[in-house]
A and B are shown apart, each in its own frame.
Chain A
Amino acid sequence: MPEQTTRVKVTKLGNLNLVQFADRKILDELAIQEIQDELLKLVGERDDGSRLLLSFSNVDHLSSAALGMLITLNKKVKEKKGALKLSDIKPQIYEVFKITRLNKMFEIYDTLDQARASL
């Protein structure tokens, strides 16, 4: 059964966690803080919590604060020697990653299946 929290839906897929976002627009600072808290908790509390696959298929827009949240999450995942993959990023969001050159920092895949295959 998927685990439903307020801002993200976490589904176990074998030994990794698929994360889907409830908000189509991840712009609001308070929402971003809540998402960050939920994901950091997941990474910190579970043995396999640092193997994350973030699907952006529901997400239309990101702000710089959301990018900051992803950077913090990536750092935490690395500390735990886990893996963080991003997939299904719409062109207008990929543009945000490109402008800030974060497309080079994150592992980004076109589809969920491609991201899963890489783990």
Chain B
Amino acid sequence: MSSASLFDPAEPMKEIVVRNNLAAAKLPEESILAEALAAGFNEEDVFAIKLALEEAMTNAVRHGNRNDPSKQVVVRYAINARKVTILVRDEGGGFKPEHVPDCTAPENIERPCGRGIMLMRAYMTEVSYNADGNEVLMIKVNER
């Protein structure tokens, strides 16, 4: 993580572990979104978190764990009135975000190419990956 990260490693986090399939991948969403609303995030922010989380979970299941049903996805999160912090880790070999082709380039437009990551970055305040590339950190700050 860069020194400018909003991530607070000392903040206690809840953990939800799900099996590696797209139906199970929806399970953490309900608790996280409900807690974000209860913490004072508005509906627009909560939707942004929902969209980013769905993209992150889909990436973990499909690209990280390569649809392997024996694998799992670990979601850790911390929510307070100021920010929502979510970590999504898969059991895959990881990837380098800088190696993902630019999906806005005309030659890549028909390829699967990180459009989800692009949306995550647009909707969240901070998105970064660990050195192994198998865990994404997403933070949404409550700007109100």
Residues of A bordering B, CB below 8 Å:
27-30, 61, 63-65, 67-68, 71-72, 75, 92, 95-96, 99-102, 105
Contacts and interface: CB of A to CB of B under 8 A. Distances in A.
A75 B110 contact: yes
A99 B109 contact: no
* Chain B binding surface SS class: helix
Contacts of A96: 119
Contacts of A95: 122
Interface of B: 22, 47, 51, 54-55, 58, 103-104, 109-110, 112, 115-116, 118-119, 122
Question: Of residues A30, A65, A72, which shows the largest number of chain B Cβ atoms within 10 Å of its Cβ?
Answer: A65
Contact of A68 (B47, B51, B112): B112
A64 B119 contact: yes
Given A64-B115, A67-B115, A29 B58 contact: yes
A29 to B, nearest CB: 5
B115 A100 contact: yes
